A and B are shown apart, each in its own frame.
Chain A
Amino acid sequence: MIQIKDLHKSYKMGSNSLHVLKGINFNVKEGELVAIMGSSGSGKSTLLNILGMLDLLDKGTYDLDGVPIKNLDETKAANYRNKFLGFVFQSFNLINYKTALENVTLPLYYQGVNRKEREATALEYLDQVGLKEWATHLPSELSGGQKQRVAIARAMVTQPKVLLADELTGALDSNTSKEVMTLIQEINQNGKTILIVTHEEDIAKMCTRIVRLKDGIIMEDKKNKMIKAI
């Protein structure tokens, strides 16, 4: 599903250049649930941003489901993100003046799906994350776990090829984290490829594969016997 070859990325910090990713080679097969681990500064978020087309790579190649991701301008990147990827963030990133349902419909809006279909689909996905009754609530009326589940529904609603999650349990307590991870595992069981950036061992152990990054290179990449979240 994902093929990355010799990926380099550096940031200009004034006159210095910070070499963050120093040659990453990394493949993900369809249906994998991959945890990307590493301490802060290891480059794991940068890697996720490049995978998410939120950031551009300096050198190397990136293929997503056979599509070479290159020469991205903003419009092309936006279209690819919309078609191929679902995002889940640590701080949920729901739009605070839109209801749960409206938040979930947003990616479909940008796909040009008509309103009725959009709302029906979104409601279906909210139902899958167990929040059908909360559809008309604003994010401020939802708990952290509920918000994250809305965010997951929003990420899934376009049926993306890959789900990218950045510290998705970072703002949640351990019980809620487990609930959210259960949901993630279910989605994975249904065949979705998921990448999770995390620094929590517990979370990583709930994945089928753990990739450890340190100082911009992959230190370790091994299969993991997935532990059920609950």
Chain B
Amino acid sequence: MKRLFDKDTWQEIFGSIQKNKIRTIITMIGVLWGIFIFITLSGSSKGLDNGFERAFQSIASNSIFIWAQSTSLPYAGYKSNRNITLKIQDADVLKKKVKGIKFIAPRIVAGVFGSAGGNIVRGTKSGTYAIYGEYPEYIKIATSKIYDEGRFINESDIKYERKVCVIGERTQLELFEKDEDPIGEFISINKMNFRIVGVHKFVQGGGFGDDGDIYIPFTTFRKIFNTGDDVAFFMIAADEDIDGVKVEKEIRTTLKQIHKVDPNDERAIGGFNLGEVFKKTMDFAYGLTFLSLVVGIATILAGVIGIGNILLISVKERTKEIGIRRALGATPLEVRTQIILESVFLTILAGIIGIILGAFVLSGINAYTIDMTDFPYTNPTVPIYYILGALALMVILGTLIGIIPAQRAVSIKPIDALREE
């Protein structure tokens, strides 16, 4: 062990490595390539991972959409193909019966699914936009952001059926001048005046909707459009620590009971579980990470074996040198230590260069993809413990693989080594 920290030991190793440049370079390329692939792959898969996460960040990752369609089976005296409409009362039942619902936002809409949107007029400007009847819960589930000066629909808006609205960014652009503050201004929706209380920033996420949508209180909506207790769909956020798939199943079962639908009817209640999609996508990303780990480690392994191979050849080449050293008093331990240290040193040096190259490539890819917001690839990083792990792996493998040529070097008798011409 004393030898390990002895300057002279390292001078001997540097000497031997320096004086055999080609051998050194060839030896290093294998490991360098291995660690380079390892770093690049795991960094890229992390980037993909981050990219997926970013793509899902606009919406609570365990949110569920539930809507009603027509039945596919006859049940309880009803024929099949009966149209089901969700009701506002369903929300209370669901909240009571299904565990794990964090928020439930009943929504109703005019302007999508083929219905007519609202005619919006402001002064001389006008347009047609989708109008949503909303509860305050919506903003807690979706991650549409309300700009600082404004607010979303609140409880008293619902209670007093206020004529207030939240408009989209695009609506603002189309109805207002650039330097105009829309908050507090009035617009006409289907010939009724609404006061604007907020502007929402639309973030591309799951589901539908765009940056022109206008949100008004649910209660106001049903009065204007005469929709009674109808709900277009529920948007539900499940508790973070709960299985979203199970919650979705329970919700469907409950709704089927309420609306007298055959429990086996798969069509009547439609649903879309973002959590499930999110989980599947993340599983895919984890799979990629794992794959890159396996491939990377295998490549490192191949590189280290390459080092062992070349050292083995070099030991054969250096038989005579080793014989001379032993005749001059090098003990087997010293010979062994030198060969193993050469192996470990070359491995680590090559590894560090590989890490640096890999980091360069990753930052290059990052610089190239940083503006591509549609491409699910963000901030490719390699966790430090991956790097430390890779280095540790290289030291261990370098030592192990060095043992083979070292043993060979020691097994040659000095007398035979000297006789070799």
Contact = CB atoms under 8 A, between A and B. Distances in A.
Contacts of B324: 93-95
Nearest to B414: A54
Nearest to A94: B324
A89 B418 contact: yes
Contact of A115 (B8, B328, B329): B8
Interface of B: 7-8, 11-12, 15-16, 19-20, 320-321, 323-334, 410, 413-415, 418, 421
A26 interface: no
A107 B20 CA distance: 22
A209 B87 CA distance: 122
B327 A75 contact: no
B321 A74 contact: no
Given A75-B333, A97-B16, A110-B329, 13 more contacts: A49-B415, A54-B413, A74-B331, A87-B328, A91-B421, A93-B323, A93-B418, A95-B324, A95-B325, A96-B321, A97-B20, A107-B328, A114-B8
A110 B20 contact: no
A78 B329 contact: yes
Contacts of A102: 15
Interface residues of A, number: 30
A220 B19 CA distance: 48
Nearest to A154: B328
Contact of A97 (B11, B15, B413): B15
A47 to B, nearest CB: 13
Contacts, number: 68
B399 to A, nearest CB: 21
A98 B14 CA distance: 12
B15 A75 contact: no
Nearest to A82: B329
Report, nearest first, the 5 A-B pairs whose CB atoms are least far apart.
A82-B329, A97-B19, A110-B329, A54-B415, A78-B331
Given A93-B320, A95-B321, A115-B8, A81 B328 contact: yes
Contacts of A89: 418
Contacts of A106: 325, 328
A78 B332 contact: yes
Given A93-B320, A102-B15, A110 B334 contact: yes
Given A74-B410, A97-B15, A115-B8, A82 B328 contact: yes
B321 A78 contact: no
A115 B7 contact: yes
A102 B16 CA distance: 12
20 contacts: A49-B415, A54-B413, A54-B415, A75-B333, A78-B330, A78-B332, A79-B329, A81-B328, A93-B320, A93-B418, A95-B321, A95-B325, A96-B321, A97-B19, A106-B325, A107-B328, A110-B329, A114-B8, A115-B8, A115-B11
Contacts of A154: 328
Given A55-B415, A89-B418, A95-B321, A111 B329 contact: yes
Nearest to B328: A107
A208 B333 CA distance: 39
Given A78-B326, A78-B331, A79-B331, A109 B12 contact: yes
A74 B11 CA distance: 24
A141 B7 CA distance: 28
A222 to B, nearest CB: 29
A97 B328 CA distance: 16
Nearest to B332: A74
B183 to A, nearest CB: 80
B190 to A, nearest CB: 92
A158 B20 CA distance: 28
Nearest to B415: A54
A9 to B, nearest CB: 12
A98 B20 CA distance: 12
Scoring B15, B16, B329 by chain A CB atoms within 10 A of each residue's CB, the highest score goes to: B329
Interface string A147-180: 0000000100010000000000000000000000
Nearest to B329: A82
